[in-house]
């Protein structure tokens, strides 16, 4: 009898969730995010990018702190406090250290694709029943870590498997779209103060360069594609070069004009919509192991939790990403200001500065997390 009651409860619960969704809100959530920022001496943290942690590599953390699994241990240390059983896709992690630690951890079961996961009895017995208290993380029966690239319909997944927590659901579709994520920072005085001036443009607009220069009165500008990763297509330039740069980016003739792959992206892809931001100068730092001075970008790592109506945000660490060309060597703005994201161009952040920056970023994330949760 009790078995039949549980079956009916699961069926009607799933039926209700499917036909009467909670206006896009989530009863609980865990999200793993990376925030890249410039630290300005007077403006503080200026957010450049917010990305999924599972799609980022932590080469800098391994180089600077010696243990390739240290970041993974921090993530696992927090997540494993909740459940004895969780599931992770082998295709999730861009970082080899994260992948290795998750696949070796006895509390996590690995799967290749959704078809394989849906056949696993242990997963189904935990994932199908609806929690008694859907607002409490501890009432669920496990996490599922699935890359946004390979699980397109997260709402359908949550409807079919209400007993597990799908990590990164709150930012589904936002982190991969720079425009959507940037718009989350609009409408609040605190978040706007920590985001460089920006605008969204279409190459077909008339007097495009003039409009951008009116919108963003900055000596240096950053052009970004809307849907790309790892600095692809990002161009840093002086404002006086904007008009010529736009012409070359959208030139119809199929002619190679630049050796910089950022420029070549626009020549080959011809994306029509793009973002332009004010380029914010960060405090230069001297890097002892390279013996030179660089214009750094700070990468900070966060886990966000929404449990029993409360938000908690943990900073797991951070480090500097450096360009491949120092300020002493000189070069184009892309060369001396854009992160190389490769060895040996990393450096530690002073603990006090990391603490100060992370506290500001926590406030920013708290505000946009509330928006995504519908609070």
Distance separating alpha carbons of residues 107 and 124, to the nearest angstrom: 16
Tokens of 178: 């720079």
Confidence of residue 68 (pLDDT cuts 50, 70, 90): low
Distance separating alpha carbons of residues 146 and 355, to the nearest angstrom: 30
Would you state the CATH architecture of domain 197-278? 2-Layer Sandwich (3.30)
Task: Identify the pLDDT of residue 258.
Answer: 60
Average pLDDT over the chain, rounded to an integer: 88
- Please state which of the ranges 58-67, 275-284, 301-310, 329-338 shows the lowest mean pLDDT: 58-67
- Checking if the pLDDT of 18 tops 70, the result is no
- Checking if the pLDDT of 373 tops 80, the result is yes
The order of strands in the sheet holding 273-278 is 198-202, 273-278, 220-225, 235-238
Q: Residue 292 in contact with residue 338, Cβ under 8 Å?
A: no
Average pLDDT over residues 15-27: 51
pLDDT: is 262 or 246 the higher one?
246
Residue 290: asked if its preceding bond is cis (omega within 30°), the reply is no
Confidence of residue 262 (pLDDT cuts 50, 70, 90): confident
- Report the chain's C-alpha Rg in angstroms: 22
Distance separating alpha carbons of residues 328 and 253, to the nearest angstrom: 36
Task: Identify the pLDDT of residue 265.
Answer: 83
Q: Residue 294 in contact with residue 285, Cβ under 8 Å?
A: yes
Percentage of the chain with pLDDT > 70?
Answer: 90
- Please state which of the ranges 43-57, 97-111, 160-174, 223-237 shows the lowest mean pLDDT: 223-237
Average pLDDT over residues 213-241: 91
Task: Identify the pLDDT of residue 57.
Answer: 85
Tokens of 334: 């892309």
Average pLDDT over residues 139-148: 90
- Checking if the pLDDT of 158 tops 80, the result is yes
Coil, strand or helix: which one is 277?
strand
Average pLDDT over residues 183-195: 96
Q: Residue 296 in contact with residue 347, Cβ under 8 Å?
A: yes
- Checking if the pLDDT of 257 tops 70, the result is no
DSSP for 179-237, written as a single string? HHHHHHTTT-HHHHHTS--EEEEETTSTTHHHHHHHH---SEEEEEESS--TTTT-EEE
Distance separating alpha carbons of residues 41 and 282, to the nearest angstrom: 7
Q: Give domain limits for the chain.
A: 28-173+295-334+341-375, 197-278
Query: Which residue has tokens 């969730």?
Result: 17
DSSP for 31-48, written as a single string? EEEEEEEEEETTTEEEEE
Confidence of residue 1 (pLDDT cuts 50, 70, 90): very low
């Amino acid at each position: 009898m009790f078995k039949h009651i549980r079956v009916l409860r699961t069926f009607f619960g799933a039926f209700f969730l499917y036909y009467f969704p909670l206006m896009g809100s989530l009863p609980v959530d865990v999200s793993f995010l990376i925030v890249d920022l410039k630290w300005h001496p007077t403006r503080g943290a200026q957010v450049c990018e917010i990305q999924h942690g599972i799609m980022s590599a932590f080469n800098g953390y391994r180089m600077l702190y010696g243990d390739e699994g240290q970041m993974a241990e921090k993530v696992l240390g927090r997540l494993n406090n909740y459940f004895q059983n969780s599931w992770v896709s082998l295709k999730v992690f861009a970082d080899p250290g994260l992948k290795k630690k998750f696949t070796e951890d006895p509390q996590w079961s690995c799967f290749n694709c959704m078809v394989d996961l849906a056949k696993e009895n242990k997963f189904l017995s935990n994932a199908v029943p609806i929690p008694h208290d859907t607002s409490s993380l501890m009432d669920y029966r496990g996490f599922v870590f699935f890359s946004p690239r390979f699980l397109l319909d997260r709402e359908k997944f949550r409807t079919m498997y209400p007993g597990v927590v799908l990590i990164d659901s709150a930012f589904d579709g936002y982190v991969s779209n720079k425009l959507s994520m940037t718009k989350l920072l609009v409408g609040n005085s605190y978040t706007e103060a920590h985001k460089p001036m920006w605008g969204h443009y279409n190459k077909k607009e008339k007097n495009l360069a003039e409009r951008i220069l009116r919108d963003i009165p900055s000596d240096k500008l950053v052009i970004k594609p809307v849907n790309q990763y790892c600095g692809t297509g990002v161009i840093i330039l002086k404002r006086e070069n904007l008009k010529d740069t736009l012409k070359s980016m959208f030139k119809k003739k199929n002619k190679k004009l630049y050796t910089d792959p950022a420029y070549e992206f626009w020549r080959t892809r011809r994306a029509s919509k793009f973002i332009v931001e004010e380029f914010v100068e960060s405090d230069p730092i001297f890097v002892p192991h390279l013996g030179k001075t660089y214009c750094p970008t700070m990468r900070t790592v966060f886990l966000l939790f929404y449990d029993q109506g409360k938000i908690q945000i943990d900073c797991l660490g951070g480090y500097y990403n450096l360009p491949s060309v120092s300020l002493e060597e000189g070069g184009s703005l892309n060369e001396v200001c854009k992160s190389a994201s490769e060895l040996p161009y990393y450096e530690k952040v002073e603990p006090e500065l990391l603490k100060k920056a992370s506290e500001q970023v926590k406030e920013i994330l708290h505000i946009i997390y509330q928006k995504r949760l519908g609070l």
